[in-house]
Structure 1
Amino acid sequence: MRHGVMLEQDTLASGDLDLSALVASFDQYTAFGATDPSEMAERIGNADCVIINKLPVNAELLAALPQLKLICVVATGVNNIDLTAAKAHGVDVVNCRAYGTAAVSQHVLCLMLALSTQLLPYANAVASGRWQSARHFCFLDYPIEELAGKTLLIVGHGELGSAVGRLAAALGMQVEIAERPDAKETRSGRVAFATAIEKADVVTLHCPLTPSTQNLINKEVLARMKRSAFIINTARGGIVNEQDLADALRTGEIAGAGIDVLSEEPPRNGNPLLASDIPNLIVTPHTAWGSQPARQRIVDQTVENIQAWKAGEPIRQVT
């Protein structure tokens, strides 16, 4: 009998998804809206498959669940799982891929456009009565930039980075792809990170969080960027040193930033980028991926992953 347990259903579905095929994939399906890490072992129990999003899976947990055979991650990132321990315990790990390309790329574009057009300052000014009392038909208190002709630097040129590049090119931007910061050589079609960062008008991050990308964007890098530059992060919070970015925005070292991810989510312990005095900063709550079609694709891919695993031919396998 196949028993599947979903531990974080509320992070994926809010009543607007069809979960029937997922439920039907198991003889027994148990779903929890949210789960504390301390509850994981008890709730997984004798299930042979667990479905998670961001909950941590470590060696200690795996050792306590000898019957567990499959971890389905309803996301792409698997940095919350001890993959070495999973392999040692004979637990397969599968994830979802390319489900949010349209949603994330349009969110990146939205942040770029909002920053360049000063969308929020103008909307807030209208809400506060500034337009109603204006002398002329308009007011131009906040400088508006055009993205056409500007240089976009993509850091991480996979599925998402490529999609953002296509959208930016349609706006007339010059698109450049950064080489890995620690690379010994620069591949054809890419530009060295150290020099490209100095020329970029917009930097957008799409790389995974690894030891080599932790704090990739720090005060030294920010100091080399144009004072008119924007930085967009829809990848992982730890790629950007958040205190350094807050300081750079306050001092005008760069012109603006659009952030969809933080180093701790939710930021219950505060975060330097949540201060109210940081100019030209837009922070969204990790929602770039969250369109209804993208979330339904996650469910559909998870069903595919489970069915392929049951047939002995796993797909989208991480370990």
Structure 2
Amino acid sequence: MKSIILDGYSINPGDLSWAPIEKIGDFYNYDRSEDDQIITRIGDNDGIFVSQCQITREIIEHCPNLKFIGVTATGYNHVDIQAAKEHGIAVCHVPAYSTEAVAQHTFALILELTNLAGRYNAAIQKGRWYESKDFTFDEGALTLLDGKTLGIIGYGNIGKRVARIAEAFGMKINVYSRDREAVMNSDFITLHCPLTSENEEFVDRNFISQLKDGAILINTARGALINEEDLAAALKSGKLAAAALDVIAIEPPVKPHPLIGLPNCILTPHIAWMPRETRQRVIDICADNLQSFLEGGKLNRIV
């Protein structure tokens, strides 16, 4: 079995080994592939792994030897599933690999907004503590999570894991699918739902207007769930106290981005899923998927 990965850098920038896949057959890693390189690179390979590259019908039709597509993530909307099915190509993905990682990052963002660790450290590095007349100094008020309400939109594996962590902090949990009104009046709202054509940009001016004044919005799900111009306006006006996002609609961002540079908006570059242990799990599951395919199995098969 000859296989390649078209865009392996985000999964393995060099700190892990591809050995689990290399043991199965000939394998080559491309860190990145441009659209016009994909067909040539696939060539006569039997299988490919793909993270974000678009695998279109045209690509599939120009690669007659292709038998296996391994998506290195849970979502697979960048692969033409119907074309793969028509050409008898197996497609596998990696489900539920990042539940703990995304839940952890959700609270990393929440805690940065409530405890301001980064802000205080930055002030200390600039010499503020040296100059203090007291044993401490004030660089912004901290917020206690105990007793606050957390509204969760999307109560799957990640949403439930976030709820468990929140309860440990003494927060009260409101779930959108059970009590929309309670969620809209929550102190914090966190998004954990998949992106669909029906909910794209559902967090818009109208939605935000129904939220509690001074609420805080967290998004570690999909960037396109939010109308970013409307969110920026709400942050500037004070309707929302703050937002913390790990995802935006277009990644990397296009200048000028409405949320970059706002003092009450924290951004991280789509890293919630990226702990080393989680990326190792992706490689291991991809190897298991390929081995299962070769043995006639259907582990994590979409097609």
Q: Which residue does the alignment assign to 1:78? A: 76
Aligned letter for 1:304? D
Instruction: Give the TM-score taking structure 1 as reference length.
Output: 0.90
Equivalent residue for 2:55, pick from 47, 54, 57: 57
- Distance of 1:270 and 1:77 partners within structure 2: 28
Q: Does 2:179 align with 1:191?
A: yes
Shift of 1:41: 0.6
- Distance of 1:226 and 1:141 partners within structure 2: 26
Q: Which residue does the alignment assign to 2:297? A: 313
Q: Is the 8 A contact 2:175 2:183 kept in 1?
A: no
Deviation readout 1:38-96 (Å, 9 max, x if unpaired): 11011001112110101111112112122212110111111212222222222221111
Q: Which residue does the alignment assign to 2:232? A: 246
Equivalent pairs: percent with the same residue?
35
Equivalent residue for 1:47, pick from 45, 48, 70: 45
Q: Which residue does the alignment assign to 2:104? A: 106
- Distance of 1:84 and 1:63 partners within structure 2: 12
Q: Which residue does the alignment assign to 1:24? A: 23
Equivalent residue for 2:114, pick from 116, 119, 123: 116
Q: Which residue does the alignment assign to 2:214? A: 228
Q: Is the 8 A contact 1:74 1:302 kept in 2?
A: yes
Instruction: Give the TM-score taking structure 2 as reference length.
Output: 0.95
For residues 253-272 of structure 1, what are the structure 2 equivalents within 5 Å?
253-272=239-258
Aligned letter for 2:16? L
Structure 1 residues without counterparts, runs of 5 or longer: 180-189
Structure 2 residues without counterparts, runs of 5 or longer: none
C-alpha change, 1:36 and 1:134, in structure 2 (3 Å) is same
For residues 146-165 of structure 1, what are the structure 2 equivalents within 5 Å?
146-165=144-163
- Distance of 2:202 and 2:158 partners within structure 1: 19
Q: Is the 8 A contact 1:95 1:316 kept in 2?
A: yes
Equivalent residue for 1:296, pick from 260, 280, 288: 280
Aligned letter for 1:137? F
Shift of 1:155: 1.2
- Distance of 2:43 and 2:179 partners within structure 1: 50
Q: Which residue does the alignment assign to 1:186? A: none
Shift of 1:293: 0.6
SS state of the match for residue 109, structure 1? helix
Number of residue pairs the alignment of both structures matches: 303
- Distance of 2:20 and 2:56 partners within structure 1: 29
Q: Which residue does the alignment assign to 2:174? A: 176
Shift of 1:268: 4.4
Shift of 1:133: 2.5
Q: Which residue does the alignment assign to 2:4? A: 5
Q: Is the 8 A contact 2:241 2:264 kept in 1?
A: yes
Q: Does 2:271 align with 1:273?
A: no
Q: How large is the Cα RMSD of the aligned pairs?
A: 1.6
SS state of the match for residue 309, structure 1? helix
Shift of 1:30: 2.0
Deviation readout 1:101-133 (Å, 9 max, x if unpaired): 222111111111111123333333333333332
Q: Which residue does the alignment assign to 1:185? A: none
Shift of 1:139: 2.8
Q: Which residue does the alignment assign to 1:219? A: 205
C-alpha change, 1:223 and 1:118, in structure 2 (3 Å) is farther
Aligned letter for 1:243? E
